[in-house]
Structure formats: C-alpha cells, structure tokens
Amino acid sequence: MQFILSGIAIGSIYGLIAMALAITFYVTRTINFAQGQLMMVTVMLTAMLSAAGTPVWLAMIIGLVSSCILGVLSYLIAIRPILQVNRFSFGWLVSTLGFAVILENGAALIWGPTSRSFPQMLISYRVPIGNAVLNGQQVLAIVVAIVLTIAFEVVRRRTFFGKLGMATAVDPDMAEAIGANTTVVAIVAFIVSALFAGIAGLLVGPTTFANPYLGSTFGTFGFIAMMIGGGTEKPVAAMFGGLILGVCAEGANALINSQASDWFPFLVLVIILIISPRGLFSSSSPLMRLRRPPAAKA
C-alpha cells in the first residue's frame, strides 16, 4: 500500500515530465532532450532566489518563467532551423542534446556542482491514508498532476487552439495552408511543456534538493515514462506511463531489494516495447486492439 501510494506520487512527477516531452513531440515530431534541464533551471533558480530572501512564491514564478523562456529558446535555436531545412531530418537529436549540455554545464559553472537546499513547502505535513503515510508534498504532486492532465486534455479537445495543435501535429504543411501559424503553435507548445517540466521540478525540489545534474536523471525517467505509456501518440498516455513507472520503481524497491529501482523499470520498458513497440496505450498496442475499432470517422 505504501509503495503504491508513494509510487503514484513520484510517478506523477515522471508523468509531468513525460507529458512535457510528449507535448512538444506532438506538435513538432521532435524530442527535446533538454526537457529535464529546463526542470533543473526552475529548481536551481527558485532555490537560489529563495535563499537570497525572495518570497518563495515569487521565486517559483521567476523559476517557471525562466524555464519557459529557455524552452522557447531551445525551439528557436535547436529545432526550428533544422526542421525548416528538412522536416524529416534528425539533426535535432544532436542539437537539443547540445542545448541540454549547455544548460547543465552552465548551471554547474554558475552555481557549482553541489546540492543546495530548496524551500520546504509542504514536505513536513503528514497525511495518513489507510495504513500508509504520505507527506504533503507527495499529495500535492498527485493533485497537481491530475489537475494539469485534465486541463491539458480539455484544452486540446475543446478549444480552438487545441484543435489547431492537433492539426499542426498531423500535417504542418496542411495546417499552414489553411492559415494556421504553426510557429506560434509550436512556441506555445514549448511554453506549456516547459511549464509542465518546471512544475514537476517545484514539486520534487523539496525531496531532491537543487542540483545541476537533476535534469539528466529526471529527463531519462520522463523519457522512459513517455515510451512506456505511448506518449508519442497521445500526451495523456505519457502521464499513465509515468504512474506505471513510479509504481514499478517503488514496488521494486519495496519487494525485491533497495537497489532494484535502478534496473527494474528498464526491464518493464523492454517487455512493453517488445509487446507493443509504440507504448502501452498506443493505437498499435495489443491492449488497444482488444477494443472494437471505433466506427469510421467521416
């Protein structure tokens, strides 16, 4: 019980980062390898500003805004120039990683490679659920993840802008032809995605403290979560992937041994990809094939 709940809590964090990866992938068909580093920037800035005496809420807002700005920059510098030459080029594999390297080492250069303290927020509250106990921060993570996921899905399906995003995802040339400004759509997607990553950072900061190398760890887990869930097709699936990953990791620690979370999630990932190469909740998944095919949409 304890491991399921704490798994869901950490899984919501992975899920938020996975969704951040999935949202930009959805619109531009690229993976922003700097996503984890965007989260790290939020964490580092918030830690630094609050340590310098800025109110925590202001520090958090500044942290989020700066990760959004960097997110947009990563698009303009590392992704857009490549897609403009050839929409199907894979150069972004290299350039987004280059951007991640710059952010990570820039942070290490400015703040030093050691961990700093992070505002405590809700971590000292204890919330007993059944026979398990979560801290306030974990509960907050779950609640925030649920709210953001629902909000994202409502915006994607119900608003005009969400539909514009879908159109851009399916065929950017066509979307452009009917008058959509795909650059604006992409920039908004990168802002939203950086917000998701930054919020994930704020939620996990009190537990992990602020460290320049936070980004690569969480970036990798977010990526795995996205692949488990099949977030490359539907951003929401990435959130479920995160939850599964979280429960698997915590469960492995609780049931196998304390080191098992280092390798068990990877085993799960490999098995899932062998069964369904595009993730558990993708349309090619055997799980989905069990459902009757939906009536042909006109």
Partner 1 sequence: MTDKSATTTPTVSSGIKRGRLNLLFLAIAVLGYIVFTIYVSHSNLHIQSLVLVAAVFGILAISLDMAVGMLGLYSLGQGGFFAIGAYLTTILNARYGWNIFALLPLTIIASGLIGAAVGAASLRVSGLYFAITTFIFTLVLTVVATNMQQITGGLQGMLGPAFPRLPSSFSWVGTPVVWCVLGVLFLCMALVWNIRRSPFYPVLLSIRDAEPYAEAAGVPVSTIKVAFFGLSAAMAGVAGWLFSFLGVVSPGEFDWAVSLNVLVMVLIGGVNTTLGPVIGAVFVSMFPNLVNINPWLQEILYGALSILAVTMMPGGAVGAVRKVLQRMSAGGDNHDEDVLAEAEKAAEETVEAASSIPDHAGEGHEIVVECKGIGFGYGVGPKVLHNIDLAVRRGDIHGLIGPNGSGKSTLANVISGRLSPHEGQVLVKGQQVAGLAPISRARLGFRRTFQAAQLVHELSVAENTMVGLYDHVPNIELRSPLWPLLPSARRDGRKMQRDARDALSLVGAAHWGGRSVGDVPHGIEQLTQLASVCVAGPDIIVLDEPATGLSAKEVHHLAEILASLKQRGVTMIIIEHQTRFLFPLCDRVTVLNAGEVILTGSADEVRADPIVRQVYLGE
Please state whether beta strands 132-135 and 126-129 pair in parallel, antiparallel, or not at all (unpaired): antiparallel
How far apart are CB 200 and partner 1 at their closest, in Å? 20
Instruction: Report residue 266 as tokens.
Output: 């990877």
> What 3-state DSSP class applies to 34?
coil
What is the contact mask toward partner 1 in residues 181 to 210, using x (rule: CB under 8 A)? ------------------------------
Candidate residues 52, 85, 177, 178; the one interacting with partner 1 per rule CB under 8 A: 85
Q: Which is nearer to partner 1, 6 or 95 (CB)?
A: 95
Tokens linked to 195: 């917000």
Q: How far apart are CA 120 and CA 1, in angstroms?
A: 25
Binding of partner 1 by 116 (CB under 8 A): no
Q: Does 97 sit near partner 1 (CB under 8 A)? A: yes
Rounded CA separation 242/245 (Å): 5
Q: How far apart are CA 243 and CA 250, in angstroms?
A: 11
Could you say which of 54, 72, 98, 183 contacts partner 1 (CB under 8 A)?
98
Maximum Cα–Cα distance across the chain: 59
Which of 140, 227, 249, 280 binds partner 1 (CB under 8 A)? It is 227
In the bound complex, what is the minimum distance in angstroms from residue 71's beta carbon to partner 1?
15
Q: Is the dihedral of CA 196, 122, 2, 151 positive or negative?
A: negative
User: For partner 1, which residue of 52, 53, 88, 291 counts as binding (CB under 8 A)?
Assistant: 88
End-to-end C-alpha distance for the chain, whole angstroms: 46
Task: Give the span between the Cα atoms of 121 and 66, in whole angstroms.
Answer: 21
Q: Does 293 bind partner 1 (CB under 8 A)?
A: yes
**Span 13-32, contacts to partner 1 by CB under 8 A:** 29, 31
Positions touching partner 1 (CB under 8 A) are 29, 31, 77-78, 81-82, 85-86, 88-95, 97-102, 104-106, 108-109, 220, 224, 227, 232, 259, 262-263, 266, 269-270, 273-274, 277-278, 293, 296
